[in-house]
C-alpha cells in the first residue's frame, strides 16, 4: 500500500516532483497538489492528471478530508513561505515535511551522504540544487582525506531559474556554503551560482574544488566515482564531465583562504553536468531535476527504513 503525500507549491519544482511521483514511485501516492494561484499551470496540470488540488495554501490543505491520511508533505514554495508552512504542519506529529526551499529550518539532507543521520527528523532540508549536485563530491573526497576548503560553482540555464530561485539567490549561496561544511565535511565552504543566459540553454554544470590534506589519489578518485554512481541511482543524468584532476599546493607556496589563512595540501577539481529527465521540464533544467529527484529518493528511503 502506497503512502499518501502532498506537495505545496505549484511552480516548476512542485509540478515536476508531482509527475515524478506519479510516473516513477512504487511507494508514494499523490494525494493533494497545493498552490495559491488557482490559474497556475501546475494546478491545471494536476487536475488533468486526476489529482486533487487546493489553491488556498497550507491552511486549505489542513482543512481537507485528505489531510488525515497524508504522511509526507513536500514544500516546493520559497524560503519565507516554508517558515509559515512549517509552523502549521509541526502541530501534527504524524506528518513529515521535506523542504525543497533554502529555508533550512531542519537539518540539511543529501541522500547518499547523511540520510541515515536524519531519517527520523520531522523536517529535513534538501539544501539547494547546487548543494545536491556538489556536496556528495566534497564528502567523497573528505572520507579519504580531510577537506580544509570546498568551493562549488553551479552554472544553470537562466531559463530554468524561475521567480522562486531568483528571489532566493542569497539564501542559495548561504545555505549551500553552510551545507558544504556541515554535510560535506569541509572546514570552510563557499558557493557561487551563475545564471547562464546562453541560447540555446545549456545543461547544468557544476565545478567542485577541494583543498584537502594529502591523500591517496587513486582512493580519492575511486571514492568520487563511487559517489557519482550512488547519485545516479536517483538522478540518471548526473555524471562526471571529465576525469578528476589533482594539483599539489606545496607548503613552500601555500594559498590564502578567507577564514582559514594560509593552507597547503592536495587540490582536487571535479567537473560535473546534470541533464534533466525531461518529465515536465526541459532536459537543460537539470538543476530542478536533481532537487525533485533527491526529494523523492529521500521520501522513498524513509519508507524503506520504516518498513
Question: On the CB side of 17, how many CA atoms lie within 13 Å of its CA?
Answer: 37
Does 129 qualify as catalytic in the annotation? yes
User: Of these residues, 46, 51, 129, 144, which one is catalytic?
Assistant: 129
CA distance readout (Å), 210 to 49, 193, 201, 306: 45, 17, 28, 35
Question: Cα dist. 124→82, 240, 245 in Å?
Answer: 12, 27, 33
Q: What b/e sequence results for 13-37 when a residue is b if at least 16 CB atoms lie within 10 Å of its CB, and e otherwise?
A: bbbbbbbbbbeebebbebbbbbbbe
Residue 122: how many CA atoms within 13 Å on its side-chain side? 11
Question: How far is 190 from 86, CA to CA, in rounded Å?
Answer: 28
- At residue 25's C-alpha, the angle toward residues 20 and 29, to 5°, is 95
Classify residue 66 by its DSSP letter.
G
Alpha-carbon span 210 to 221, nearest angstrom: 13
The catalytic site residues sit at: 129
Amino acid at each position: 500500500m502506497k503512502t499518501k503525500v502532498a506537495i505545496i507549491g505549484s511552480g516548476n519544482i512542485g509540478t515536476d516532483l508531482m509527475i515524478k511521483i506519479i510516473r516513477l514511485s512504487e511507494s508514494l501516492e499523490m494525494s493533494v497538489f497545493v498552490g495559491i494561484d488557482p490559474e497556475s499551470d501546475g494546478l491545471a496540470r494536476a487536475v488533468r492528471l486526476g489529482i486533487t488540488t487546493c489553491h488556498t495554501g497550507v491552511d486549505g490543505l489542513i482543512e481537507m478530508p485528505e489531510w488525515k491520511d497524508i504522511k509526507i508533505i513536500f514544500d516546493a514554495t520559497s524560503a519565507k513561505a516554508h517558515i509559515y508552512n512549517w509552523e502549521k504542519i509541526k502541530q501534527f506529529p504524524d506528518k513529515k515535511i521535506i523542504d525543497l526551499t533554502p529555508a533550512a529550518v531542519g537539518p540539511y539532507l543529501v541522500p547518499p551522504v547523511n540520510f541515515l543521520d536524519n531519517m527520523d527528523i520531522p523536517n529535513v532540508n534538501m539544501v539547494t540544487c547546487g548543494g545536491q549536485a556538489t556536496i556528495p563530491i566534497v564528502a567523497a573526497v573528505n572520507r579519504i582525506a580531510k577537506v580544509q576548503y570546498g568551493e562549488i560553482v553551479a552554472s544553470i540555464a537562466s531559463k530554468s531559474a524561475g521567480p522562486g530561485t531568483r528571489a532566493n539567490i542569497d539564501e542559495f549561496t548561504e545555505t549551500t556554503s553552510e551545507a558544504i561544511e556541515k554535510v560535506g565535511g569541509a572546514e570552510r565552504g563557499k558557493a557561487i551560482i551563475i545564471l547562464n543566459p546562453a541560447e540555446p540553454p545549456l545543461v547544468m554544470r557544476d565545478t567542485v574544488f577541494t583543498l584537502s590534506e594529502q591523500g591517496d589519489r587513486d582512493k580519492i578518485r575511486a571514492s568520487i566515482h563511487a559517489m557519482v554512481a550512488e547519485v545516479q541511482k536517483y538522478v540518471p543524468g548526473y555524471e562526471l564531465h571529465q576525469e578528476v584532476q589533482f594539483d599539489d599546493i606545496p607548503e613552500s607556496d601555500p594559498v590564502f583562504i578567507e577564514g582559514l589563512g594560509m593552507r597547503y595540501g592536495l587540490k582536487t577539481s571535479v567537473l560535473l553536468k546534470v541533464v534533466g529527465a525531461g518529465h515536465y521540464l526541459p532536459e537543460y533544467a537539470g538543476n530542478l531535476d536533481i532537487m525533485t529527484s533527491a526529494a523523492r529518493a529521500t521520501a522513498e528511503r524513509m519508507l524503506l527504513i520504516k518498513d
